[in-house]
Structures are given as C-alpha cells and as structure tokens.
Amino acid sequence: MKRIILLLFLIIVVIPVGLSQKAVVRGKIVDKKSHQPIVSASLILTDGTGANSLENGRFTLTIPSFPARIKVSHLSYQETEITLKEPPKADLVIEMEEYVGLLSEVEISGKRLQILTEKDDFSIQDFAFDHENLWLLGYTNNQATKGKIWLANWFGDTLASVPVRGAESLYRDVFGTVHMVFKDSVYQLYSETRKIVYPYTYDRDDFFNTMKPIRAGFAENLVYADINSFEQCAKIYYRAAGVWGLRLLTTVEDHLAHMNKLLDTKAPTMWTEFASQYPVTKGSKIFTMIDDAIKVPLFSWKDTLFVINLFKDSLLSYGPNGKFKQAVPFTYCKNLLLNGIDGGVSYKKLTVLADPVGTGLFILERKNTSWILLPLNTGTGAVGQPVLIPEFPDMYNITVFGHAVYFLYPEKKYPYYVRLYRYQL
C-alpha cells in the first residue's frame, strides 16, 4: 500500500488486479541428500501456469482446481512430478535429486548455458524481470510488423503472449515493475492467470521526466541525486514513504571533479590558453580532467542504500530511515595512471548488478572484448574473484536473476535472430 501511495504521488497508478483462486500452496524445494534449499526451480501446472522457487527455496503457487499435477524442474536436478488430490494442510517440502553421470566438465558447463528462445521464430528486442516473471519483447518471422510481448517463467517457457505494434523497449522501474515503452506513451505491465494486461497508459515525456531524477528505491523510499556541476559535487536525497519533502543523506565529491575545481580556482586561464594552442585528444588524461562529469555510483540492496564516494574511496551505507550505517574502503573502481604520478587517476566503467531473488551483488566490468562478473561484499568493500560466465564479445543487456546470468546475443547466421541466453551460476 505504501508503494501504491508513493507511485500515485508521482504519476504511476498501481491497481492490484487478481482473481479468486481455489487454493494457494506454499512450500520449499530442497536437495534430497543435503536438504539445502534449491533456488530458481520451476513449478508448472498442466495449464501452463506456475511459479519459481525464490530465496531459501521457498515458493508460492496458486492452484485453480484439484486434483493438480505439478512438474518441478531445474537445470542441475532430475525432473520430478507430484500430484495433489486436495489442498495440503501444511507447507510442502519437495525433494529433488541432482543429476548423476559420467559427464565431462565441458558437458556440465555446457548444460549450464541454455538458449531460451532457440526453437522459436521470434527475435528479441528487449527483456526484463519483475519480481516473479520474465517479460520478452520481440517480433516473429523477422517481421517488425509482427510484434509480440511474452510472459514467461525463468526458463523461457511461455505463460502468455499478446501481439503489439510499435513497442520500442521495456523499462524496469526502481521497485521492480516492468513497463512497455512506445514512441509517445508508456504502459505498465500486469499479469493475470494466462493473461497479459496493460490498462494504464502514461505520456512518455511525463513518465521519464518523473522517473529520471530517481536513482534508486529501497524499503519503499525513493532516492534522488542533485548534481551541481558548478560546485563539482552531488547531493544525495531520499523521500520516505508517507513523508513530505526530501531529506539530505550525503554530499559526494568526485576525485577528478575536485581536481578540476582546484584548477579552475587557482589558474582559470591556464587551461583555456593551453587548449587553444594544443589539440586535446578525446579520452586523454587532460581531456578527462577538463570535461569529465562528476560520477555518483549508487545502488540499493534489500533495505540498504549504498553510495560509492569516489573522492574518499569508500562505500557508504544507509538504512531505510535514512540513518548512516557504516563506511568501508572501496578502491576497485579506481585505475591509476602513470602509477598515480601527479594525481593521475581514472575510473573503471562498472555496473553493480543485484540479484533481487538470490543472495548476491555483483560488479559487471567491461574488459576489451569480454565482460567480467565479480561478487561484491558490501560489509567489507572487498571484490571477489571473477565468476565464470560465457565469453561472447557481442553479448548485451546482461542481467543477474535467480542465481543465473541472462543476456542477449545476435546470431551470425541467416535468418538473423537475437536470442536470449541463460547461464546458471
């Protein structure tokens, strides 16, 4: 309810849509030998509807009628099937057996990589996850006029689809709701049983003008960043649910921006004269020092907001009440130029990816023709060893969800398709 009130305050109206159901079954999926929870297992009913096991192996499954047959599957486990004659009186515990065989390491690794759309005749424009489902936007038979939006489970099995015309992309807001973007409008996507609905439309410019200042959302709060180029600093604010006005969390200065400010103060004409006499190559150290805008990396994880203070090489964390929690050293984002001589420093192009239903935070870094995924420990600021992921030089839209990496990759053969891949971590 707090979220609905908050989004109403902006421009987004969230109206819960649902149908009465016979029974809601809850339970847990575990390894048969170790009894450890299994995350991202798929539970599918005979009508194609289903659910996935989330953190700690827990699941919630709506069953319209009994008896009900449930197929349970996971890439690393043998498929199993159970039949419920009536609603269970207690939570279910479903055990799964791990695949056992004489497979080589290459074959095992290969099984972890799956093309979710390989057997279909549609090419993917975009994809996004809400809290439970996978949304796919694309078109069939390589014809842009035959657009479609699909609702699928985590393994690409279609739950529902409807034709659309003119959709350009998908947009996931800071609270995990997925929107479909058109040239002049934006629709918020909902899923009912075997149905896709998008009854609420917003003007595209109004929508993105409202959403653009919002940098993150955590514990029903919205986070804003006010970047002041003249002062070379950024102020981070947050708006608590049900509370009017913004509250200042912290002020962050960028290292390069700080240097630039000092240079402007002490020798404002030197750079102008230098630039007029000597060409400044784009991407060079001097170009970066003159024109590089202040950076304020921030991200949210569960009920905590994290802000990377580049000037002080630290990772700051704040609780849902806006109270400062701690600061830990964080230097991975920094590259030294000429061993740091004369203050030489640049910043890596990093993206922090949060697995909303798993337990991990990862740093995504671009390395020449490949991508590197590294676990991040927010308690210590330490970055772990790289996680093995496929080395596809043209992969893009990299997302971590349910202990798996999803990405798009264009085929290099005719007919040309953009495929969605899933790699189990």
**Reported confidence tier of residue 295, pLDDT bands at 50, 70, 90:** low
**Reported confidence tier of residue 126, pLDDT bands at 50, 70, 90:** very high
For residue 284, is pLDDT > 60? no
Domains of the chain: which residue ranges?
Answer: 23-114, 239-344
**Of 295, 391, 303, 393, residue with least CA distance to 348:** 295
Tell me which residue has tokens 């950024």: 234
CA angle centred on 133, ends 158 and 94, rounded to 5°? 90
**In the prediction, which pLDDT does 214 show?**
86
Q: Give the mean model confidence (pLDDT) for residues 172-179.
A: 89
| Model-wide pTM > 0.75 | no
Name the pairing type of β-strands 147-152 and 134-140: antiparallel
Enter the tokens of residue 323: 């109270």
CA angle centred on 184, ends 398 and 420, rounded to 5°? 20
**Within 10 A of 171 (CB to CB), how many other CB atoms are there?**
18
CA pair distance 78, 70, nearest whole angstrom:
14
For residue 54, is pLDDT > 70? yes
Q: What is the DSSP string of 285-327?
A: HHHHHHHPPP---EEEETTEEEEEETTTTEEEEE-TTS-EEEE
Most confident range, picked from 66-70, 157-161, 297-301, 336-340: 66-70
Q: Which residue has the higher pLDDT, 114 or 107?
A: 114
**In the prediction, which pLDDT does 27 show?**
93
CA pair distance 124, 142, nearest whole angstrom:
10
Rounded mean pLDDT of the chain? 76
User: Among 201-205, 344-348, 390-394, whose mean pLDDT is lowest?
Assistant: 344-348
Q: Give the mean model confidence (pLDDT) for residues 42-52.
A: 79
Report CA dihedral (202, 204, 208, 211) to the nearest 10 degrees. 10
**In the prediction, which pLDDT does 260 show?**
53
Name the pairing type of β-strands 201-203 and 214-218: unpaired
**In the prediction, which pLDDT does 157 show?**
81
**In the prediction, which pLDDT does 9 show?**
43
Angle between helices 270-277 and 255-266 (to 10 degrees): 100
Q: Which residue has the higher pLDDT, 75 or 146?
A: 146
Per-residue DSSP letter, 340: G
Q: Give the mean model confidence (pLDDT) for residues 287-310.
A: 69
Q: What is the DSSP string of 184-222?
A: SEEEE-EEETTEEE---EEEHHHHHHHHTTEEEEETTEE
Q: Which residue has the higher pLDDT, 180 or 41?
A: 180
**In the prediction, which pLDDT does 77 show?**
73
Q: Which residue has the higher pLDDT, 132 or 283?
A: 132
For residue 250, is pLDDT > 70? yes
**In the prediction, which pLDDT does 274 show?**
44
**Reported confidence tier of residue 396, pLDDT bands at 50, 70, 90:** very high
**Reported confidence tier of residue 175, pLDDT bands at 50, 70, 90:** confident
Q: Write the CA distances from 395 to 160, 168, 409, 419, integer angstroms.
A: 26, 19, 5, 10
For residue 233, is pLDDT > 80? no
**In the prediction, which pLDDT does 128 show?**
95
For residue 106, is pLDDT > 60? no
For residue 191, is pLDDT > 90? no
Q: Give the mean model confidence (pLDDT) for residues 114-121.
A: 80
**In the prediction, which pLDDT does 421 show?**
92
CATH 3.50.50.60 fits 23-114, yes or no: no
User: Among 55-59, 72-76, 121-125, whose mean pLDDT is lowest?
Assistant: 72-76
**Reported confidence tier of residue 271, pLDDT bands at 50, 70, 90:** very low
**In the prediction, which pLDDT does 18 show?**
37
Helix residue ranges per DSSP H, 19-160: 105-112
**In the prediction, which pLDDT does 345 show?**
66
